[in-house]
Structure 1
Amino acid sequence: MKKKISILLIILLCLFQNSTISFAESSANDVSESSTENSFQESSLESSSMWEMGTVSSTEQLTETTESSLETSSESSLSNSSTTESTVEPDEVSDVPEKVEEQIDEASNKEMGTNFKTDSNKLARAGRSSVIAGNNNTPEANFIDVSSHNGTISVSDYKEMIRYGVTGVVVKATEGTSYKNSYYFEGQVKNALAAGLKVSVYHYAHYTTAAKARAEADYFASYVESIGILDKSVNMVIDIEENAMKNGSLSLNTIAFKNRLNSLGFSNVLYYTSASWITEYGDGGELSANTFGYQNIWIAHYPTNLTSNMNWYSKYASWQWSSVYVFPSKSDVYFDINQDYGGRFTNKDLLDNGNVYYFKNTFSAGNADLRVVYGRPEDVTYFGDWNGDGKDTFVVRRGNMYYFKDSLSSGEADVTISFGRDGDQVYFGDWDGDGKDTIAVRRDNKYYFKNDLSDGEADFSVAYGRGTDDCYFGDWDGDGKETVTVRRENIFHIKNSISYGNADIMIAYGKPDDEIFIGDWNGDQVDGLVVRRLNAYHIKNNLTTSGVAERVVTYGKATDRVYFGDWTGTGLESIVVRR
């Protein structure tokens, strides 16, 4: 009996061992097949997401490498990169469970540049200082970026921003994979489009792996597409500033994000970051401008002291130069302000809508030195020295109301007066030699002069010439007082005093239908003539004799509205064109 029991136990033990071995082999096969399937899926992702960077040449194609190419792949597959890194994605091969992403809500979401803002900007945001819109001693203010922190921005708010040269906005859409900007559509994007601004959108990134980058790209694209107001040509900006992202794989992870957006049909992908994150600026950077394209990168850097001739990072797409910009209509809200070098973020059609002035400090060819938005497109504009500082500035006319500005800047008028009638012909000049220009109106051949900028009656009047004469005013003898000249055909009848009587000088110059301007072109304190033909200006300084021009300057477009004045107080007059 004992022998039979022993034999039975041996048989049962053998059966158990065979079953265990078979189970183990089956499990191993399952793991192998699963790995093969995962590898195939990852490889399929790779081949479907190999897209060229939108503005990078075809020889600089950005690709993601996969686990199957780990032994041979390196970041040398990225154009112009000299470093070699493993492209394995640890979260996809490790058994360590992923950290659950922290949920981002309205209170915890971050605005663009949160991690880049300097101490000086933080102090400014505490109320110590700010940059006021219309301040001309700054870099160009071309576009803003906004998030829920800026609140609702109305159509009228955006239109005021256009007056200061802002023609674009980049609106935060999403952050991570759990936050959507609650102001995105109604409070920010819709109103910006209604005002005519160019709208771009951005995603505040947190990804630390390629898989997480793709997940965030899906979240970003899905939200933008679901709203439906913007098409897939919109600029999709990746806000790259979270320190945890700098883990040695930032470049590859960012390529994964970019490729995913491309695969979803979004072709215009740009990158916002700090200069210190760019490899070309030092050892701490992980993003190569050569790889991602200078023209696709938006740099944040906030100087302490601003000047108008700053053009930092001009080989990049744009530069964010302050986070404490303030507009009058929203004086309690700080905005990030940016200069747009490549035109990617702005609506150029808004830049020249009839109230934009391009000033040249010297009467010569070349780019304008100053751009100012002032008044309304329909305003009638003149220039003069209203406060005696030697510099000519704006006055706009609306009916018989005149709005004088003491600086070449946007903003409200410094002095407003009512004078004359709506139909009067108007002139400005220094009638009494006190260094300040004032107003005169003409009715037929009679001129009514005012010696100060105030309401009321004229101080004196003079009849001169004929009602059909073309009339100009200038200082013809250098005594500091501007007097009249009339043109009949191409003959100029110049008078050295504001009085009745015959002309003191007569000269012939130009053609009867030439457009004429007056100014001191050589600094001798005596005004001369300029004849305009298309965009060529024929300058004559000597008005004692007839003759040809002494100098010709080509500037601007034939369709420009042009004015002349001394913009810098040097005693030399130069040009401004209005578009």
Structure 2
Amino acid sequence: MKNKGKILAGILAIGMMTNNIMSLTTVYATDVQTQVTQENSAEEMGENTNLNGTDAEYENKDGQGTDTADDALEQQDQTENSWRYQNGEVIQKSQFYRSRAAEYPYAWQKVDGVYMNSAGEVIEGAVKKGIDVSEHQGKIDWEKVKADGIDYAIIRCGFGNNYTSQDDKQWLNNVSECERLGIPYGVYIYSYAKTTAAAKSEAEHVLRLVQGKSLAYPVYFDMEDDSTANLSEKLKGEIAQTFCDTITAAGYRVGIYANLHWWLNHLTSSVFDNSSWSKWVAQYNASCDFPESYDMWQCTSSGTVKGINGYVDVNFWMNGDSGNMNPDSGGNEPDNNPDDKPDSNPDDKPDSNPGTSQTAGATLVVRRGNEYHFKYSLSNGGADLIIRYGYANDEVLVGDWDGDGIDTLCVRRGNTYYFKNSLSSGPADKVVTYGRTGDVVLSGDWNGDGVDTLCVRRDNTYHIKNSLSGGVADKVVTYGRVNDSVLVGDWDANGTDTLCVRRGNTYYFKNSLSNGAADSTIPYGYATDSILVGDWNGNGMDTLCVRRDNEYHFKNSIQSGGADKIILYGRKDDVTYAGKWK
């Protein structure tokens, strides 16, 4: 997406060169009509010059009227006029790069495990490198892109109102290739909205195109066109609110894209303080000077990536805590000291059996909305790590998705799964579609390879998949009854997870993924107890934990009798998961 707003200057005033490292100063202009601006592109300043026509009429989904052909024609008649385009023609780069020190030869690349900027300095907080693309890049060779160190892509789906003639011509090819190759992606739409009705239509434009797609990054609203600059700040906020509310209501993360000047001078309505909206900031500079938290920085429009002819925008996902670059998830920045952090002595109850802290085995995490409070030991006290991930209403699975010995989270939405390979906020590392929306889903290491994968349960039949991929099950077994509660664990420490059926307070353990009778049966606890499963002492064998309110009774063997350890953690209404977090 190249239009980098009409105000923020892309001119870099070069004061001096010291030790062959360029000194960069971002220049701003004050006059709206004559200002020096950041890099712009055909996508942003006149997306419609090559339209072959428009849909005569689009009926709004809310049934409140139609957008007429005049609305489409107004957009169609716009021509690119920006710092990079003049009357629809590209300004040659030599005209706006008049004086510039030589860039660091490995600018925007990873060197010794860290990303470097154009001045040869480490980009603090950058964790992933991505690109944003549209039809202006032509047909992309995505296999070469992936091989060139690109971690993700933000793909333009279209521009303006919900007309098929305003779909991006490369949208389907770009998104299908990313899904085929497992490249995580998000989307953006270039906005011409001057009313909330137009914003609603643009949101519906996105939703029409992303239906059935597997987004791992947010849907971004690019609202910086010259034609909208003079709208009141209140109306800009209402337009953004309408778009974002429509996208969020459909179950997608949403965000706003703008250059630094727009963020500081145009997007000043209080609605932009919404912490659930991801912020994507464009500033072509050696660093980003946005004073608030943000998720993504677009650092240049002159990046080069194998598989793409010509230049492409380069972005970094910022997920490190370095000054103004704070970790968050789709714009949700966790508090450093949230008011609802688990108490060091919750409910003022004594530690029933404090024992000694240990990190060799599984421990607990409590979930409150989309905030997760991880504990690294089976002990009382506050959380050791707090992150945010996904939405408050997401279904969550826990597993070791990459075989590194550490459990992490997976968000499930329908039959799409968003796997995270680290205990951190930010976008998913892998997105997979499997099974049906109404399936009950379990996770476990079904073949002993060290990687947890999925199992779909339908009644008492289990469809087991041995890889994090779509397609048919690798194994199907029948066990127990349709209405049984089912647990997953490695009950005999052989490295493979199997099933356990629970009926009341009686547990039927199976040590192989096969039909037939249980291998062992024990009674434990009460029929009303909540149960967690984990390897609590690090001996390789999963056992049971009874939860009663915020009290956890751990058993280190598959047998009846009293608990081996009891601790207090969190609150009685917390959602709790077990895993090996460290």
Please give the range of the TM-score, normalised by the shorter of the 2 chains. Answer: 0.3 to 0.5
Q: TM-score, normalization: structure 1?
A: 0.44
- Which one has the largest radius of gyration? 1
Give the structure with the larger helix fraction: 1
Q: TM-score, normalization: structure 2?
A: 0.44
